[in-house]
Amino acid sequence: MGSLAAADEPLPPLRYPPARRDGDIVDDYHGVLVPDPYRWMEDLESDEVKEFVRAQAAVSDAVLATCDHRGRLRGQLTALLDHPRHRAPFKRAGSYFYFHNPGLLPHAALYVQHGLGGEPQVLLDPTTLSDDATVSLSMVGVSDDAEHLAYGTSASGSDWVTIRVMRVRDRRLLPDALSWVKFSRVAWTRDGEGFFYSRFPAPKDDDGASDSGIRTDVNLNHEVYYHLLGTEQSDDVLCWKDPEHPKYIYTPEVTEDGKYVLLSVAETSEPVNKLYYCDLSALPHRLLGTNEMLPFVKLVDEFEAYYGVVANDGTQFTILTNKDAPRYKLSRVDVDDPRSWTDVLPEDDKAVLESACAVHGDKLLVNYLSDVKYVLQMRSLVTGELLHDIPIDIGSVNGISGRRADSEVFVEFASFLTPGIIYRCDLSSGVPVMNIYREISVPGFDRTEFEAKQVFYPSKDGTKIPMFVVSRKGIHLDGSHPALLFGYGGFGMSVTPQFSAARVVLMRNLGFVACIANIRGGGEYGEGWHKAGSLANKQNCFDDFVAAGEFLVVAGYTSPSRLCVEGGSNGGLLVAACINQRPDLFGCALAHVGVMDMLRFHKFTIGRAWTCDFGCSENEEEFQWLIKYSPLHNVRRPWEKCAAGDHHRRQYPATMLLTADHDDRVVPSHTLKFLATMQHELCRTVERSPQTNPIVARIDRKSGHGCGRSTQKIIDEAADRYAFAAKMMGVSWID
């Protein structure tokens, strides 16, 4: 665990490394000249960028060395994570497959057991795939006959995936290897002889190593292929491409009856898609012997709404959609008569229809989100009528695993104070009963010591925003507690109650109050809530988050000097924009893998898909939205705005920016350019700067946007960032 630094150890002198500023790079955006002096940081492989990263790491290491709770945090996190964890099983041909980590293994392994009472066996352990646990499993697909497993591996957290195939019965690895796969799934045909998947064309400099390092070039010309087991990737059948629309992303899926392959077509991250289908039963055997693409029928060929197929009975398709229903509904169409749309389950007045799973023949297990709380119901697939309410605690349904061919369904549940329960619901008796199949128990965690509640607070424009507040029981609201405020607010993604070992340690050993604000831009109340925090309305997200901080101060939970804000990705943008706009409100900021350059994000990897939420600087009106809040372009010296004699209180909070060298979702240059800008503007060019709070970066190696990290990497990063927050806000350890 390492020796602990003294509690009063001072910060080292903060000498930020110089970063070259190129004054020649000035972009003209619709008549507005915008300098970009750190454009060179976009070349992540350059020696100059590598040297800048090394120099910044030395600064952050020196600061972290003085953070006296770092070792204790690492020890407590390790102890709390050392317990068995399971995910819900899925069934194929009488065999059950599930992920399980017995404790502190770097990654959960995929297990198989034959029958519910069968002996579990390790099918694939990702820990064996690399010496340093930096290769992870990113997707799996088991054939309907349970004979073969196709699995995708990712190196160093990259979005690039390599698909391989294993024979289940003897764990024999087949020679199949598929490269340049990204944003795909494995969709087996019913005969088990092969599967559909999506990939990008290999780049011109293809050396066969898609995951060897970071690539920032824009991803274009997605294609769908069919791979026949035992053949070379070069022999795969091209099923669909559309060179006229190079930005389209394709997701193939085979219906449970095996009759159709579906193709969902997206262009951005917005919840809208086109929907195509192809009748596999009308095709030649094995999809071979033709050089023509599959004859997909375009059921929906406009980007007007979201369409997700839930089930089909022959040509009758039941579809989850937000067409004229921002809180979603279930509709049905006969694909032989594409004008025959009817509603099966109309939109609810208040709750959002999160998902629907067809199970046990003609039943539907539907999952609603009502005021950020889940509601489960069993309904008729035929009529949509309510058959049974299925009571669950306040928390999150993280997965539903079931098929129409089976009489059982598994439901995965967690909450702030429930580490995890997997329910098995037997549907054969008529009345569904939720029995606990597996329950995660965390030694040393006593849920009765804590409480979780939901509050509603007004935002700047009066909109009521929900927020969860989790803390030790019986705290006094005297403004003395450190608080951690988390938010996301984008892309229609809902932030729902989840268990977090790190949050438990913060509450138990550092006295934190943990708060999760369900700000606009998310999907907590459907598409209306999402759109109220996107495009021209993006400022609402920042106003909502700032209002959450103000509420916590006024209500007596905390004070500005003890309020830490945290968010990742779009949430990293959120944190960065809010400390630009209200630096006085926060004592510490932790911004993970944030989108910081709102004028150029669309030029890298899949960033172009985010224009649905942000807009694009190439459009004059949208540029005017973006330039007002882009973190990179709005760093200001707060002391220049304040009254005389008030300088000591007007600086940016202590800030840690987190990124990783293999993040090919939000490329690291976002964080590097923002870091250099903050240090230059607030510190390096100001004699005796009032900015005494540190501005540092934690740049992880052989990691990506967050997925696929080993248990140890997760522990180390959490210990570092929360030890930094505790040090900066003067928080004492509680044994």
- Count Cβ neighbours within 10 Å for each residue of 74-107 and write b for 16 or more, e otherwise: bbbbbbbbebebbbbbbbbeebbbbbbbeeebbb
293 neighbors 242 (Cβ within 8 angstroms): no
* CA pair distance 466, 459, nearest whole angstrom: 10
563 neighbors 554 (Cβ within 8 angstroms): no
Distance of CA 621 to the CA centre of its chain: 29
Positive/negative CA dihedral, 578, 582, 585, 587: positive
633 neighbors 617 (Cβ within 8 angstroms): no
User: Taking the CB of residue 201, how many other CB atoms lie within 10 A of it?
Assistant: 12
Q: Residue 463 burial (CB < 10 Å; 0-12/13-18/19+)?
A: middle
User: Taking the CB of residue 526, how many other CB atoms lie within 10 A of it?
Assistant: 23
**DSSP 8-state symbol, 88:** -
Amino acid at 76: Q
Annotated catalytic residue within 663, 664, 716, 720: 663
Is 602 designated active site? no
* CA pair distance 2, 12, nearest whole angstrom: 20
Annotated catalytic residue within 569, 617, 703, 710: 569
Token pair 């101060």 in the structure block, residue: 553
Query: Can you give the length of the chain in residues?
Result: 735
327 neighbors 347 (Cβ within 8 angstroms): yes
273 neighbors 306 (Cβ within 8 angstroms): yes
580 neighbors 565 (Cβ within 8 angstroms): no
- The residues near 491 (Cβ < 8 Å, ≥ 6 apart) are 269, 521, 530, 570, 610, 613
E strand segments, 582-694: 588-592, 654-660
Scanning 65-153, the segments in alpha helix (DSSP H) are 70-81
Dihedral, CA of residue 71, residue 75, residue 77 and residue 78, to nearest 10: 130
Annotated catalytic residue within 705, 710, 716, 720: 705
Task: Dig out the tokens for 477 from the structure.
Answer: 């609201």
* CA pair distance 144, 187, nearest whole angstrom: 10
Is 569 designated active site? yes
* CA pair distance 17, 684, nearest whole angstrom: 9
* CA pair distance 263, 184, nearest whole angstrom: 11
Is 83 designated active site? no
* Enzyme catalytic residues: 569, 663, 705
